[in-house]
Structure 1
Amino acid sequence: MRSLVPARVHLGPVVLLAVLTLSACLLVGGLPRALQASFDDALHAALRGAPALQTDLLAQVEPPGAPNSLRDPAQFAAADARLRALLPPALRPLVLPAGQGTSHMSAVTYDTPVHGSSGRSYLNVGWLSDADRRVRWTEGRPPGAPGSMTYERESIPVFEAGVSEDTRDKMGLKVGSTQILGESDYAAVKIVGVYAAVDPADRYWSLHSDVVRVTETHPPGSLEVERHATALISAASLTRLDGDDRNLVYTWTLGLDPGAPTSLGTADVEAAITDYERAVTVEPATAAGRYQLNTRLPELLGRFLAAQNTARTVTILVLGGLLAVAAGVIVLAVRLLSERADTALALARARGASLGRLAAAGAGPVALAAVPAALAGYALSWLVPGPPTPLVHAGPALVLAVALGYAAGRPVVAHRAPLSERRDDVAAARPPLRRITMEALVVVLALAGAYLLRSRSLAGEAGDDPFLLVVPVALTVAAALITIRCYPYPLRLLVRLASRGKAAVPFLGLTRAARARPASVLPVLILLPALAVSVFASVISSGVDTAQRQAAWQAVGAPIKVTSRVELPAGVVERVRAVPGVELVVPAQTGQVQLGYTGERAEAIAVDVAAWRRVLEDSPVGLPALPASGLPALVSPELHGRGTMEIGWHARTKITEAGVVTAVPGFFTRGKFLVTPLRVNARPSVNTLLVKGDADPAAVARAVGQPLAVVTSQAAELAAIRDAPLTGTVRTVLGITTVALAAYALVAVVVMLVIGAADRTRALAFLRPLGLSERQARGLTTLEILPLVLVTALVGLGLGLALPAALGPGIDLSSYAGGVAVQGYAPDLAVPLLLAAGLAVAAGLGAYVHTAAGRGRGSGATALRTGDLT
């Protein structure tokens, strides 16, 4: 048989099959690419946002003495070249060349006390190979060659050095002054200049934070502040800088290019770092000593992989459901085309055609439609930006294989015996015992898998656990099998009730629905997963939205928050209150307090809690109320149980524990902290404003008018969470999948109507001569179709709502909600109900229109076969 002739005769089903195949291949080929591109974008954003101290590779050496010290930058450069030669192939494209990005070399001392400071001031000296492009000199001049001086009858080196503006101010160092360093092996530092960072926000400075600012700490058990800073020296000073007299570290920083790694190669990068650490540790390339590799990149990549695995798990579930539904709808379209040729194929078989020839005849028209459409869809998917994954290639191939395999296999099964015809419209077929046993086994295994998934912890293993991928599929199949087997029984009860009435249409319609052919119940296997997956995607999206809003409120603590490192002037509050849209302004003071008379400290905020509760009254976060009398306080779990505590802030005050909070919105989430009334200080030093209203944050910032003040808003924080690359793509994938599945479900309903058109036409042909009106014919068709669709819609809706709970701890979406766990999945039922109701209405309208369209085709007597009336 020639394939072109049946394809031309049955052009409608062929076009439908081509459109379905093209759309399915485009979706299953394009969505994984877009998702993988978002993984890369998220990884690059995480690397760019992380300090260089976490991403770069630091090879460090502590020289044991003067003979092992490096005296010239050329020696550092030679060692740098050797370290780069040891890089594994997976790391070489990711590391920036020397002098680019954050790649540089340094020699810095540590724990160098200022003589006579009693261990409260430390001034280290350091050489940075790229200091000339990192700092600008605002006072004095850059340092030059070292000198010598006599101190306590000994000759000691004098290093010319420059200090940061922050070091000058906090440690009282002036240009021209000299500081003696050390308590035994002395050295002198002559301050010849003051500098400022060219870009203070550059992630580079995380490697040398005390070069640009003073680090202040409170040692355990001490009430004094300890200050650490580093002064910059010239390359010429390396000749006098050695490990004999002071703690010295040489560092070769191999800067990572944040835009170079890919999410697909993350595991290779982690393995390469391990190999490189092993190679560097045993490398005796310099006389300075043994190298030690320090990097936090594996930790950062591990956190990213956890978020990526969660996203991949959820999207694989959704995309897997989309692929299954698309394949099922294509099977329906192939069946529609195949049934149109059943008469011709039965005749060919009766005339001696082989089964192979029947398979070729069935697959030929399908191949003409599906192969070009699959290739076109696959080609169009390459227009979607992103790297290809195995699913990009396997998905379209699987869609095409299903279409061709079913097209070739169905004629062979249906016509394996010549002229073997039977009627399916008289009585419901009784399934064999073997099939019932297999279906029961599937149901039991699905329930057992769901129980195991709920009972064991999967946190952090979402992307690697096959249970999380198998159980949802098993639950969907189990629900479909139960629906197929059980839905006729309630219909038979309705048939008995309808049989007692006088109207014939309800009885006939429900009877035909209860005796549906196997081909009629086949769409259940498509409609149910389509609804379940789309409702599941809607529920997940709704849960993420709720958690994102909570995370934004938790991060800011008010619609608008103003924070400042210094006290805000008294007139600022009044100016902010006058900004249009501001409803309430609550001043607060934040700081660190001393607990008792020990060195123990805690973070604190003094605020009118009652007023702050009014600011938070429409938000998903809040604080318990404080008693009006005394000085009550809300404390963190670490401070719980201490009762009355004495704290040192601006003055010594006693506070009483009045409640425990695990977090303070906008301020504290862990550690030791407390919330006290604003009156805890006699004169509050206000440095924070909590603003309620829909005012413009920019207008609030102008009203504050302080360069050191920072204005943040809950709306901006929420937008930042939602606009993250990974979050946005996951939401987009869920939205596209929901729409696609809804469309496939509607197509399945239409195809189901068309497949049963012949039987329906024959039944109406019998009934119209008996007086069946057009209105009754439409009602009969609607009653035949609607019960199955309604039952499927309800089961799909229930399964979609239950899947998040069934998957349990396997879904951790906190990475897309600002770190807040997505719990409860209390969904907005509008979208799920709309999907289910829309499908049922579409089925009813389709049946109505389908019957109305056949009105004018005569009485239908020609539809009766010879012998049907005998």
Structure 2
Amino acid sequence: MSRRSLLGDAGLLRRHYSAGWRASLLVALLVGVTVAGVALAPRALARLGDRELRHALMTTSATELDLAGIGQLGYADTAAQQNVATDVAIRNVRLGLPEPLRDLVGQPHWLARTSASTVTLPREQQLTLDLRLAIDLAWDQVARPVEGRLPDAYDGRGPIEVAVSRALAERVHLRVGDRLPNDPAPLLVTAIVEIDDPDGSYAVHSGDLVAPTVQEAPDTLPTVLGTALVHPDSASALREPMAGGSIVAWFPIDASRVRYADADTLQPQARRLASTPVELPNGGRLSLRTGLADVVERTSDRIASTYALLALALSGLAGVLVAVFALGVQTVLDRRRPALALASARGAGRMQVRAVMVLEGLLIAVPVSALAILVVSTLVPATLGPVGRALPVLTALLVPLLFGVLTNPRTLHQPRRDLRVATHGRGRPVLEIAVVALAALSLLSLVRRGVVESSRAVGIDPLVVAAPALLTAAVCVLVLRVFPWPLLLLQRRLRSRRGPVAVLGAARAVRSPALGFAAALALVVGLSVVTFSAVMATTIRSGLEHSVREGVGADVRLSAARFDDGDLAAVRRLAGVDAAALLTVRSGVELDLGRTARVEVVVTDTAALHDVRPDLPVLAGRGQDALPLLLGTDRAEEPEDVLLDQVPAVVTSVVGRDLLPGLDRRWVLVDQSALPTGAAEGDGEPRELLLVRVQDGAAADEVAGLAAAAVGGHPDVEVVDVDEELAAVSSSPVVGGLRPALLVSALVALVLTMLTVVLASLAAARSRHQMLGVLRILGMSRRQLRGVVAWELGPIAVTAVLVGTVFGLLLPRVITRALDLRPFVGGRTPPQPVVEPLLVLAGVAAFVGVVVVAGLVAVAVGRRLAPAETVKMGER
């Protein structure tokens, strides 16, 4: 190797970087793991949003979700022209849709049918049959004959051959060969078919073609409404009957192809479909509608709330991450200090010294970060926005930036001190004031605008999202300003005691703390994130349980047209039942609050209902001048003169309409003993609800099963319980993934805290061992030396536990005021923070254990330096 290659710029840099390469390798590994995590987080969130949106769409009924329409069929001269033209026009609807909506919409299916007409049945039956004729171009693929043959085309002569579903044939006792008088020609049943409908969408959109509809009313015969298939080529001969009928078309929505990144584009595209009818050939028209936009909007609100909550929870970790990077960079700088000091003494300028270290930062961070981003993007593909793509890059560039900022040529000749804001100088007050001002501005923006609303308006607002980190930094600034004063007082009190350990440890903690601002910030943030995660996990669980119970109305709800007199007593006798109440809901009752309106009236024993629902009052019974009412409404009401079905009444309280489930926008509750006989009967069929309160420790789903069996004589009973509903809500990917995400954030905070303590302790190892060497020479025992070392970590750790716990308990109250969790948990009112003491204490205990272990690890590693070897005569 030539002398030029050894003494040139490249050679000198190569020799400079190769010395002490282990510290650089450690920082490179730390950067690689961190960048991989930062690159993975937005991808995991994007995939979580995709899964949540797909889950919401897949659990939505086809009636609400699919793109479907109803309209009138136009007619051409021949059936072939009519059918082909209509089919092409409907298929062109999908081709004309914009992306990404077109990618979700499947191939259409449509059928045309006549209006219903009453048909005389061949056998005497106690019912009436209203039948419609339908044309389906794909009928031979949908209808599978189980008896007979598929019909031939009707050309205007002879009977109209039809195929009926097995369900309709069994309901009205039709057989192959039956003739049904009808206009314009009698109907001949040539086939009984089974409809192939594996996903159930055909039955949903074709109405009574798959299964007949039965309408029953008092004192009248049941009416069966059904549809029969005819050959598609019968359209020309059935022009007049079809003219008064309708056409139904539907396009299935493939939820597995949707992406959350397309949510904002899908909503206006889906809404525009309902604004303009589709023109069909020969004067036909089709009006389309879909609930896709509403489902996407509701789900987007839930996903946005989840993203906002996780962003606020994880933003605090940014401060710890900066501290860890800074300590790692300072470790490398400590290895480079002698060489940099020599270069500076021989004429290297400040910019040259900084440039050398920035270049080393780029060499450390860029290759490993590029590899980490490439691996993560390959293994976890996802559609990201500009912020998600920029975050790992900015994280990687943070390392060379810290190398440039922390390289101070003026202090290269001094021994290495721990990374901290200088105790003297003009820069510290300015920096502290700036941090406190930013924290106040961030808190104001968070409370006034909210993280979700600000993100919708301006995208990701860094000032709002960074509120937890800025607030923590401001708290740390204030704490470190106050931190020395209690120690000074303690030091003065300890001077009168025997033994030098406490006095020396307190003095060192005040004058030259081993853990500076970066480590203090990491400790406070770490514990606050752990506490915040514990409180928010409990809050979300409590909010979900509360909203589910609101939706059910009690622990268990049974609904039916009518319950027998013994059903209530049977349910009350069941094991696990604490209380039960029977509610009768009557619709269409006149209520006069100054203006007459028709409302639903809930009649019950309000004392029994109060036992089930303590939040509902007991209304007075008979003996009152006016009938006591509880009014449920969302309007502002101050009623004075009230009449319920011409009975004088008084409103004792106004509550939200959602206080009882499944009722109209306005309803009233009355006590059954106070309601006059024959009053408030209503104009519709009443329905009854049986609300059950479950004993503590009993499972609601088990009680629901027993209650269903106890009233099993009613075929129309619907049973709902909070356990089943909560399980259904928890099946949502967002709900199921949020609590593990909070747990992961707490674990990451603990790991980063451990790294911070280890790095800070190792960085202070040389100065510590210099002091310990002197103390050893002066005669201190090993036990006393361990006591002095414990004072390095003890005061700041105790302070961090106190401040971090209090701050972690207060932060959820700030977050829940700025972030409405109702789109996530549901319910009428925003959930308030719920603190579970045992969970919080477990988090604090885990944090203390991590700090102790980190301190022991750092001291164990530092023992490789013998204290006596670090003592140099004349150094001080």
TM range (shorter): 0.7 to 0.9
Aligned to 2:414: 421
Aligned to 1:797: 805
Q: Distance in 1 between matches of 2:224 and 2:380?
A: 48
> 2:327 aligned to 326, 332, 349, which one?
332
Matches of residues 367-766 of structure 1 in structure 2 within 5 Å? 374=369, 377-378=372-373, 381=376, 387-390=382-385, 393-407=389-403, 410=406, 413-415=407-409, 420-421=413-414, 429=422, 431-433=424-426, 436-456=429-449, 463-464=456-457, 469-474=462-467, 476-481=469-474, 483-484=476-477, 486-500=479-493, 501-503=495-497, 504-516=500-512, 520-564=516-560, 567=563, 574=570, 581-584=575-578, 586=580, 588=582, 590-596=584-590, 602-603=599-600, 607-615=604-612, 622-627=615-620, 634-637=630-633, 641=639, 643=642, 645-646=644-645, 659-663=653-657, 667-668=661-662, 670-675=664-669, 688=690, 690=692, 692=694, 693-694=698-699, 696=702, 701=708, 705=712, 708-766=716-774
Following superposition, the deviation at residue 380 of structure 1 comes to: 5.6
Are 2:163 and 1:202 equivalent residues in the alignment?
Answer: no
Are 2:861 and 1:863 equivalent residues in the alignment?
Answer: no
Q: Distance in 1 between matches of 2:130 and 2:648?
A: 35
Contact 1:322 1:530 in 2 (8 A): yes
Q: 1:393 to 1:424 in 2, by over 3 A?
A: closer
Contact 1:30 1:392 in 2 (8 A): no
Following superposition, the deviation at residue 324 of structure 1 comes to: 4.8
Q: 1:418 to 1:538 in 2, by over 3 A?
A: closer
Following superposition, the deviation at residue 725 of structure 1 comes to: 1.2
Q: 1:194 to 1:388 in 2, by over 3 A?
A: same
Letter of the 1:330 partner, please give it: F
Following superposition, the deviation at residue 333 of structure 1 comes to: 2.0
Q: 1:204 to 1:304 in 2, by over 3 A?
A: farther
Q: What is the DSSP-based 3-state SS (H/G/I as helix, E as strand, rest coil) of the residue aligned with 1:487?
A: helix
Are 2:260 and 1:263 equivalent residues in the alignment?
Answer: yes
Following superposition, the deviation at residue 250 of structure 1 comes to: 3.7
Q: Distance in 1 between matches of 2:605 and 2:650?
A: 16
Following superposition, the deviation at residue 494 of structure 1 comes to: 3.6
Q: Distance in 2 between matches of 1:346 and 1:732?
A: 49
In the TM superposition, what whole-angstrom CA distance separates every residue of 1:592-621 from its partner, at most 9, and x where no partner exists? 43415999765565555544544557xxxx
Q: What is the DSSP-based 3-state SS (H/G/I as helix, E as strand, rest coil) of the residue aligned with 1:77?
A: helix
Q: Distance in 2 between matches of 1:77 and 1:864?
A: 94
Q: 1:191 to 1:812 in 2, by over 3 A?
A: farther
Letter of the 1:586 partner, please give it: A
> 2:281 aligned to 286, 289, 293, which one?
286
Following superposition, the deviation at residue 104 of structure 1 comes to: 0.8
Q: 1:163 to 1:589 in 2, by over 3 A?
A: farther
In the TM superposition, what whole-angstrom CA distance separates every residue of 1:177-197 from its partner, at most 9, and x where no partner exists? 6578xxxxxx89969699897
Q: Distance in 2 between matches of 1:81 and 1:853?
A: 73
Aligned to 2:110: 105
Aligned to 2:251: 254
Contact 1:179 1:189 in 2 (8 A): yes
Q: What is the DSSP-based 3-state SS (H/G/I as helix, E as strand, rest coil) of the residue aligned with 1:239?
A: coil
Structure 2 unpaired stretches of 5+: 1-11, 120-127
In the TM superposition, what whole-angstrom CA distance separates every residue of 1:278-309 from its partner, at most 9, and x where no partner exists? 9x76x867232566543332233222222222
Contact 2:761 2:859 in 1 (8 A): no
In the TM superposition, what whole-angstrom CA distance separates every residue of 1:633-684 from its partner, at most 9, and x where no partner exists? 644227975756349xxxxx99986654425667336523445557789999
Q: 1:799 to 1:656 in 2, by over 3 A?
A: same
Are 2:312 and 1:312 equivalent residues in the alignment?
Answer: no
Q: Distance in 2 between matches of 1:569 and 1:545?
A: 38
In the TM superposition, what whole-angstrom CA distance separates every residue of 1:743-770 from its partner, at most 9, and x where no partner exists? 2112212222221222222233344444
Letter of the 2:811 partner, please give it: L
Q: 1:135 to 1:529 in 2, by over 3 A?
A: farther
Q: What is the DSSP-based 3-state SS (H/G/I as helix, E as strand, rest coil) of the residue aligned with 1:552?
A: helix
Q: 1:205 to 1:529 in 2, by over 3 A?
A: farther
Q: What is the DSSP-based 3-state SS (H/G/I as helix, E as strand, rest coil) of the residue aligned with 2:255?
A: coil
User: CA RMSD of the aligned region, Å?
Assistant: 5.2
Q: 1:688 to 1:208 in 2, by over 3 A?
A: farther
Aligned to 1:91: 101
Contact 1:107 1:128 in 2 (8 A): yes
In the TM superposition, what whole-angstrom CA distance separates every residue of 1:337-388 from its partner, at most 9, and x where no partner exists? 3313322432344345676775676578777875675466546645865625
Q: 1:842 to 1:231 in 2, by over 3 A?
A: closer
Are 2:349 and 1:341 equivalent residues in the alignment?
Answer: no
Q: What is the DSSP-based 3-state SS (H/G/I as helix, E as strand, rest coil) of the residue aligned with 1:92?
A: helix
Aligned to 2:92: 82
Q: Distance in 2 between matches of 1:242 and 1:452?
A: 66
Q: 1:817 to 1:433 in 2, by over 3 A?
A: same
Letter of the 1:318 partner, please give it: A
Contact 1:527 1:745 in 2 (8 A): yes
Letter of the 1:254 partner, please give it: F
TM-score computed with the length of structure 2 as normaliser: 0.77
Aligned to 1:827: 835
Contact 2:48 2:734 in 1 (8 A): yes
Letter of the 1:544 partner, please give it: I
Q: What is the DSSP-based 3-state SS (H/G/I as helix, E as strand, rest coil) of the residue aligned with 1:259?
A: helix
Following superposition, the deviation at residue 776 of structure 1 comes to: 3.6
> 1:29 aligned to 39, 57, 80, which one?
39
Contact 1:589 1:678 in 2 (8 A): no
Following superposition, the deviation at residue 557 of structure 1 comes to: 3.4
In the TM superposition, what whole-angstrom CA distance separates every residue of 1:90-122 from its partner, at most 9, and x where no partner exists? 33322212xxxxx31133567x7979xxxx999
Following superposition, the deviation at residue 550 of structure 1 comes to: 0.8
Aligned to 1:51: 61
Q: 1:867 to 1:710 in 2, by over 3 A?
A: same
Q: What is the DSSP-based 3-state SS (H/G/I as helix, E as strand, rest coil) of the residue aligned with 1:106?
A: strand
Aligned to 1:42: 52
Q: What is the DSSP-based 3-state SS (H/G/I as helix, E as strand, rest coil) of the residue aligned with 2:533?
A: helix
Q: 1:398 to 1:709 in 2, by over 3 A?
A: same
Contact 1:323 1:395 in 2 (8 A): no
Structure 1 unpaired stretches of 5+: 98-102, 150-156, 181-186, 648-652
Q: Distance in 2 between matches of 1:266 and 1:419?
A: 55
Q: Distance in 1 between matches of 2:577 and 2:236?
A: 65
Q: 1:288 to 1:456 in 2, by over 3 A?
A: same
Percent of residue pairs identical: 22
In the TM superposition, what whole-angstrom CA distance separates every residue of 1:511-542 from its partner, at most 9, and x where no partner exists? 33333469722223433433344433333222
Following superposition, the deviation at residue 730 of structure 1 comes to: 2.3
Larger displacement relative to structure 2 (589-598 or 481-490): 589-598
In the TM superposition, what whole-angstrom CA distance separates every residue of 1:421-456 from its partner, at most 9, and x where no partner exists? 37869x994554465345424423432442344245
Contact 1:44 1:258 in 2 (8 A): yes
TM-score computed with the length of structure 1 as normaliser: 0.78
Aligned to 2:297: 302
Letter of the 1:302 partner, please give it: E
Aligned to 2:122: none
Aligned to 1:183: none
Q: 1:590 to 1:196 in 2, by over 3 A?
A: farther
Q: 1:596 to 1:356 in 2, by over 3 A?
A: closer
Letter of the 1:308 partner, please give it: I
